[in-house]
């Protein structure tokens, strides 16, 4: 395991080792060039990488540069990258089998998954704006070891990679979910004093992977009679619905905010999630209460209020219907384990 490290000016001046490129975990034979000096040395403390294990790392680039930052690199080893653009806009051109050579325009608030068998790329980060990028990098071997038991729930493009077909690039892009946004905020804040650092980064990384794969699966599932735009609006409605469980928006508010009429919104939830808007919210609340039982010291009443219930009896009935056990009994069982 290697510790967090900052990027130093003397390496940017042309002595940069490839595995220290901010936001990129490249192989040992990568070539990094056209890398101008970072004007403000204080910026560099916000560019760091944490290697969880060989072939599994998390990187953070968070800076406002005086001038444009442009660098090119080559990589001949396959990688799976989960990327999140927290703030700023930038472009990158990637030459890889299966990708448009014209490149990508990346916008704040978006994330994605990118599998590259090999690549040549040029990344341009504009100056005079804050750019914050988070990446989780995995080698195919690590990805395989993590997801093989759940391989049937992996997007088809990545299933092919797991089966040994590594000739074509594959990518997916979407808006960053509210849940992923919360994970990213925790990541940027860093571990609490005394917290186990490796577990902190590993836990957040796995949470981000699971969330992004779930969104990719939902996006790639054919939905009859539903446009891509409508589907994205339903995803947005779902994120807004569970953002504040103590005071969630009503269906009318969700419809107005997302630009869908109420019928389309209800139909979209049934097509994507198999339940109505109200049923989705109730299920999410109960699952969140269960998480609180496992991860906090809340009692039944406190958890009920935290997830938006004002009547503990109503909460208990809903919890038992979902988990087939009363919450008080379940909480005792959880704490005794």
Domain ranges of the chain: 9-218, 219-336
12 pLDDT band, cuts 50/70/90, is very low
pLDDT, tens only, 158-176: 888 888 776 777 888 887 8
In this structure, what token pair is assigned to residue 167? 């000739």
Residue with tokens 């947005």: 236
pLDDT-derived band at 135, boundaries 50, 70, 90: very high
Residue 310 banded pLDDT, cuts 50, 70, 90: very high
Per-residue pLDDT at 103: 57
Average pLDDT, the chain: 77
Tokens of 7: 């990027």
Q: How confident is the model over 130-144, as a mean pLDDT?
A: 89
pLDDT one-digit tens code per residue, 212-242: 998 888 776 555 566 767 877 888 888 889 8
Q: Supply the pLDDT for residue 23.
A: 34
Q: What is the pLDDT of residues 31-74, one digit of tens each?
A: 222 223 333 444 444 678 889 999 999 988 887 777 777 767 67
9-218: which CATH architecture? Answer: Sandwich (2.60)
Residue 312, pLDDT > 50, answer yes
| Residue 103, token pair as written in the block | 């490149």
Decide if pLDDT at 9 tops 60. Answer: no
CB 11 within 8 A of CB 22: no
Query: 332 pLDDT exceeds 60?
Result: yes
The residue among 82 and 118 whose pLDDT is bigger is 82
Give the pLDDT of residue 19: 34
Query: Residue 286's pLDDT is what?
Result: 92
> Looking at residue 87, what is its pLDDT?
83
CA distance 291 to 73: 42
CA 132, CA 188: separation in Å to the nearest integer?
Answer: 10
The torsion angles phi and psi of 336, rounded to 5 degrees, stand at -85, -15
Confidence of residue 13 (pLDDT cuts 50, 70, 90): very low
How much is the pLDDT for 188?
Answer: 86
Determine the pLDDT at residue 158.
85
- Give the C-alpha separation, 307 to 315, whole Å: 9
- Report the predicted TM-score, pTM, of the whole model to 2 decimal places: 0.58
- CB count within 10 Å of CB 270 equals 15
Averaged pLDDT for residues 311-327: 93
Gyration radius of the chain's alpha carbons? 22
Average pLDDT value for residue range 287-295: 89
* pLDDT at res. 77: 77
Q: Is the pLDDT of residue 253 over 90?
A: yes
The CATH class for the domain spanning 219-336 reads mainly alpha
């Amino acid at each position: 395991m290697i510790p967090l490290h900052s990027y130093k000016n003397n390496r940017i001046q042309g002595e940069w080792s490839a595995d220290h490129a901010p936001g990129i975990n490249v192989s040992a034979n990568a070539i990094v060039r056209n890398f101008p000096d970072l004007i403000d040395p204080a910026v560099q403390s916000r560019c760091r990488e944490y290697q969880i294990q060989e072939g599994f790392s998390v990187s953070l680039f968070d800076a406002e540069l005086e001038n444009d930052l442009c660098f090119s690199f080559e990589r001949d080893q396959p990688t799976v990258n989960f990327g999140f653009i927290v703030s700023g806009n930038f472009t990158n051109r990637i030459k890889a089998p299966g990708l448009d050579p014209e490149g990508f325009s990346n916008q704040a608030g978006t994330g994605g998954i990118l599998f590259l068998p090999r690549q040549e790329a040029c990344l341009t980060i504009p100056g005079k704006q804050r750019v914050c990028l988070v990446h989780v990098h995995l080698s195919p071997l690590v990805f395989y070891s993590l997801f093989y038991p759940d391989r049937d729930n992996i997007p088809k493009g990545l299933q092919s990679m797991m089966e040994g077909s590594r000739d074509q690039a594959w990518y997916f892009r979407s808006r960053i979910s509210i849940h992923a946004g919360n994970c990213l905020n925790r990541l940027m804040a860093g571990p609490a004093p005394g917290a186990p650092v490796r577990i902190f980064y590993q836990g957040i990384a796995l949470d981000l992977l699971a969330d992004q794969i779930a969104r990719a699966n939902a996006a790639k599932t054919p939905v009859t009679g539903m446009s891509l735009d409508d589907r994205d609006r339903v995803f947005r409605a779902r994120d807004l619905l569970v953002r504040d469980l103590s005071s969630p928006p009503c269906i009318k508010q969700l419809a107005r905010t997302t630009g869908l009429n109420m019928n389309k919104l209800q139909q979209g939830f049934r097509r994507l999630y198999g339940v109505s808007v109200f049923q989705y919210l109730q299920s999410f609340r109960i699952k969140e209460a269960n998480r609180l039982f496992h991860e906090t010291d809340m009692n039944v009443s406190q958890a009920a209020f935290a997830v938006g219930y004002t009547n503990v009896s109503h909460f208990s009935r809903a919890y038992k219907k979902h988990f087939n056990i009363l919450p008080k009994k379940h909480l005792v069982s959880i704490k005794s384990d």
